[in-house]
Structure 1
Amino acid sequence: MVLSVNHQARYWGLAAVLFLLVLWLLGDTILPFLVGGAIAYFLDPLADRLQRAGLSRVMATTVISVAMLLVAVLLVLAVIPTLISQLTALIDQAPEIFRQLQSFLTERFPDLNDETSTIRQTLLSIGDTIKERGGELANTLLLSAYSVINAIVFMVVVPVVAFYLLLDWDKMVAKVDSWLPRDHAPTLRQLARDIDRVLAGFVRGQISVCLALGTFYSVALMAAGLQFGLIVGAIAGAITFIPYVGALIGGALALGLALFQFWGDWFSIGLIAGIFALGQFLEGNVITPRLVGGSVGLHPLWLLFALSAFGTLFGFVGMLVAVPVAAAIGVLMRFGLSQYTGSRLYRGKESIVLLEEDR
C-alpha cells in the first residue's frame, strides 16, 4: 500500500528535524567526521579516475593519502609558520600604521589638528583600541581555532576518517541507494544527482579557485615586495568564494599597506593594484570558467543566508554543513516548483482542456 502524501511529508519532516537535532546536540563530536567526509567527497573523483587508470581502490586511496600527507607536511613546515608570523607582525604594527595615517591626514587636512574634531578622536580611539587589544585578539583567534579544531583532530582523527570514507565511498553510496523507498527511488536518485552536481560544481570548483587565487596573490605580492604579502593573499583567496568580496577586501588591505610602505613610489603602488586587477581578470575569464563552469544554481545571496543562519544556530559545525544543505534545499525547491508548474493547481482550466484533448 502506497503511503499518502501527508504521511510521506510527516516522515520526511521528522527526518529533517532529527538531522537538525543531532547537529545541535552533537556538533563538536561529529566535527571530525564532517571534515573527514568533506575531504573524502572532494577526493572521490580523483580516486575514481585512478581506478579507471588501473589501480585498485585500496591503492588509489593510499596514493591520495600519501600525497595529501606530503602536502600537509609541506604546509606545516614552509607556509603556516610564515603566515602566523606575518599575521602577528601585522597586528603588532597596526597602531603605528594608524599613527602614520593620522599624521598623513593632519598634514593634508589641517582642520584635523583641532582636539574636538570627530575624525581625530575616532582615529585616536581606533589606534588605542588596536594597541590594547590587538595582541589579545590574535591570541584569542588562535586559541579559539585550536579549541574548535585542535591538533589531534587534524593529525589523527580527520585523516583516519577521510581515509576509510574514501576507501568505502562507492560501497556506502550503493548501500544508501538500497535503502531508498522503491516507489520513489528513481526520483530520489535524480535529486541526489542534481545535488551532487551543484555541490561538485560549487564546492570543489570554488575551493580550487580559492587555492589558485590565494597562491597567485600571495606569490605576486611577495614578489612585488609587499611586507605582508602572504597574509594578504591568503585572506583574499580564502574569501574569494563570495563574488568580488575577496578582491575588494584583499585589494583594499594591500593598497593600504602599500601606501604606507611605498609612499612616493607610485610604480610599486600601481604594481600592487595591477596584481589585483590581473587576479580579477584571471578569475572571471580563465580560472572560474575552467574550474567551476557555468551557473550551478547556488546564488551568492542564498549562500550568505545559509552560512549566517546555520552559523548562528549551530556554530562552526553549522557553517560546514551550510553549503550542502543550501544546495539540497535549492534543488528540492526547484523540483517542487517544476511539479507545481505542471500541476492542475497552477495550470487550472488549461490542464482540463489538454486532458480532454488527449482523450
Structure 2
Amino acid sequence: MIPPAPPSFDQKKVVSLFTILAYLGAIGVVLWLLYDLRTLIPPFLVATIFAMTLIPEVDRMERRGYRRGLAIGIIYVLFLGICGLIARSLNQLASGQMTQLLNLLPDKVLHGTPQQVAEYASAWMKLHHVPEVMRPPVINQAKHLPELIGQGMGWLSANLPLWAENLVWVVIVPIMTFFLLLDFHKILGKLLILAPRERREDILTVVTEIIAVFGNYVRGMMLVMLLDITVIYIVLRVAGLSDYALSLAVTAGILYTIPYFGAVVSTIMIGGVALVSHGATAALIVTAVMILIHQVVFDNIVAPRIIGGSVNLHPLLTLGALMAGGTLMGIPGTLLAVPIAAALQVVLVHIFPQLKADVVSIRRAERVVKASISTETEQNKPASRKSGDGEAMIQEEKDAKSDAQEPPSILPQT
C-alpha cells in the first residue's frame, strides 16, 4: 500500500496571510491612535477645509506674480478685515436694539418674585387678548422665569472655562491653515510619491476636483445666506419690526448656515422679539412665516438646489447627506455632510466612469432591458431556433436610427 502524500506547504499563501494580518494590525493601530487623539482631529479637519476652500484663490494670485506667502497674507488681512467690520457693525446695531428690547421688559420680569411675574404675565395676556385656554400653562411657566434666568447664568459660568479651552482653536486653526496653504503642493507631491506611478495623474485629478467642490460649496452657502438675510429683512420690515429687522435678519442668516439647528434658533429668537414688542398675534404670524420660509422654502427648495447645484449634487442626495450627517455627528455632521458627499461622488465617478453618462431615452432603456431578458432566455433554451435573428438585427438598426433622430424622451410614449 502506498502511504498518503504529506499535505503540501504553500509558502505564498502563508506570506499573503501574514501580509493581510500586518495590514489589519497597522489599520487597528491607526484607528486606536485616532480615537486616542480624537480631540485634536476637529481643528485639523477645519483647517484642511479652510485650506481647500482658499487654495484656488491663492493659486490664482500666485499665477499673477504674487509670492505665495504674500498672497496668503493678503487673503488673511482681507478676510479678517471683513469679519471685523461685520462684527463691529452688528455689535453696535445689536447693542442699541438689545437695550430697547430690555427696556420693554419691566423689572417685575427680570428681578421680580414668581408671584409678581405670574401677575404681570396674566395682565399682559389679558391686554393682548391671548385666548384663555393658553393662559394657565403660560402663567405656570412664567413663575419659573427668574429661576430659569439664574440657572442659565450658572450654566454659562460653569461652561465658560470649557469654551475658553476651545478658543485655542481661534489661534490654532488659522496657523494650521496658513501652513497648509503655503506648502499644499509640496505635501500633495510627497503623498503622490506613495501612489503607483500609473495612478498619480488620476489621483491628482480627483484631488483638484475635490478642492473645487469645497470652494463651490462655500460660495453656494454664502449665496444662500445672503438670500436668507434679504428675505427675512423684507418680511420683518413688512411685519412692523423695522427697528430690529437688520440685526435679526443678519443673525438669522448666519445661523442658517448651521442646518436645522440654526433655523430653529433663529425662528424662536425672532418670534420672541415679536412677542415682546408687538404682542402674541404678531408673534404667532411672524413665527408661522419664519417656519414657512426656513422649513419649507429654504430647506426643501432653495438650499438643496443652490448648494447641491454648486457642488453638482442632486437635491435628493443633498437632503439625504444632511440627514445622515446630522444622525451620525450632530451639528458638525450637518456642516460637513454636503461637501463630503460631493467629494465621495467625485471619487465614485472616477472609479465608475459610466456614471458620467447622460440620461438615455425610455425607448433605449426599454430595448436594453428587453435585450438582456431575451439573451438570458436564449441561453437557457437549446440552440435550435435562429430564424428571426436577421429580422431582429434589422429592427435594432432601425430603432437606433430613430433614436439618433429623436431627442431623448423622459415621458411615456402614447
Matching of residue 212 in structure 1 with residue 226 in structure 2: yes
The Cα shift of 1:25 comes to 1.9
Matching of residue 34 in structure 1 with residue 45 in structure 2: yes
The Cα shift of 1:147 comes to 2.3
Q: Report SS of the residue matched to 1:180.
A: coil
Alignment of 1:67-82 (within 5 A): 67-74=78-85, 77-79=88-90
Matching of residue 172 in structure 1 with residue 187 in structure 2: yes
Q: For the Cα contact (< 8 Å) 2:220–2:306, is it kept in 1?
A: no
The equivalent residue for 1:66 is 77
Matching of residue 253 in structure 1 with residue 275 in structure 2: no
Alignment of 1:1-359 (within 5 A): 20-74=31-85, 77-79=88-90, 96=109, 107-111=129-133, 119-120=137-138, 123-124=141-142, 127=145, 130-140=148-158, 142-150=160-168, 153-154=169-170, 156-182=171-197, 184-185=199-200, 188-189=203-204, 191-193=206-208, 195-202=210-217, 204-209=218-223, 211-213=225-227, 216=230, 224-227=241-244, 230=247, 233-240=250-257, 242=259, 246-247=262-263, 249-263=265-279, 289=306, 293=310, 295-296=312-313, 298-310=317-329, 326-329=341-344
Which deviates the most, 77-86 or 125-134? 77-86
Unpaired runs of 5+ residues, structure 2, are 1-15, 111-116, 356-371, 380-414
- Mapped partners of 2:336, 2:27: distance in 1: 13
Q: Report SS of the residue matched to 2:313.
A: coil
Deviations 1:154-188 (A, max 9, x none): 2x433322222112222322332232233544554
Going from structure 1 to structure 2, the CA distance change for 1:164 and 1:83 (only over 3 Å counts) comes to farther
- Mapped partners of 1:8, 1:299: distance in 2: 39
- Mapped partners of 2:196, 2:175: distance in 1: 32
- Mapped partners of 1:84, 1:8: distance in 2: 65
The Cα shift of 1:88 comes to 11
Which deviates the most, 9-18 or 185-194? 9-18
Q: For the Cα contact (< 8 Å) 1:217–1:233, is it kept in 2?
A: no
Q: For the Cα contact (< 8 Å) 1:197–1:296, is it kept in 2?
A: no
The Cα shift of 1:67 comes to 1.6
Q: Report SS of the residue matched to 2:259.
A: coil
Deviations 1:205-262 (A, max 9, x none): 354236535764787669953548636642443234537x755653453144213312
Q: For the Cα contact (< 8 Å) 2:325–2:337, is it kept in 1?
A: yes
Deviations 1:255-304 (A, max 9, x none): 442133123997xx77x959x959x9899679974995364255233233
Going from structure 1 to structure 2, the CA distance change for 1:76 and 1:322 (only over 3 Å counts) comes to same
**Which one has the largest radius of gyration?**
2
Q: For the Cα contact (< 8 Å) 1:194–1:331, is it kept in 2?
A: yes
Going from structure 1 to structure 2, the CA distance change for 1:6 and 1:21 (only over 3 Å counts) comes to same
The Cα shift of 1:61 comes to 1.6
- Mapped partners of 1:77, 1:47: distance in 2: 27
The amino acid of 2:323's aligned partner reads L
Going from structure 1 to structure 2, the CA distance change for 1:112 and 1:195 (only over 3 Å counts) comes to closer
| Structure with more relative contact order (C-alpha pairs < 8 Å, separation 6 or more) | 1
TM-score of the superposed pair, with normalisation by structure 2: 0.56
TM-score of the superposed pair, with normalisation by structure 1: 0.63
Unpaired runs of 5+ residues, structure 1, are 341-346, 354-359
- Mapped partners of 1:331, 1:9: distance in 2: 29
- Mapped partners of 1:247, 1:83: distance in 2: 19
- Mapped partners of 2:24, 2:209: distance in 1: 21
- Mapped partners of 2:26, 2:100: distance in 1: 49
Going from structure 1 to structure 2, the CA distance change for 1:16 and 1:146 (only over 3 Å counts) comes to farther
Which deviates the most, 207-216 or 39-48? 207-216
* Count of residue pairs brought into register by the alignment: 329
The amino acid of 2:85's aligned partner reads L
Going from structure 1 to structure 2, the CA distance change for 1:72 and 1:140 (only over 3 Å counts) comes to farther
Q: Report SS of the residue matched to 1:70.
A: helix
Q: For the Cα contact (< 8 Å) 2:62–2:71, is it kept in 1?
A: yes
The amino acid of 1:63's aligned partner reads I
Identity %: 20
Q: For the Cα contact (< 8 Å) 1:242–1:300, is it kept in 2?
A: no
The Cα shift of 1:124 comes to 4.1
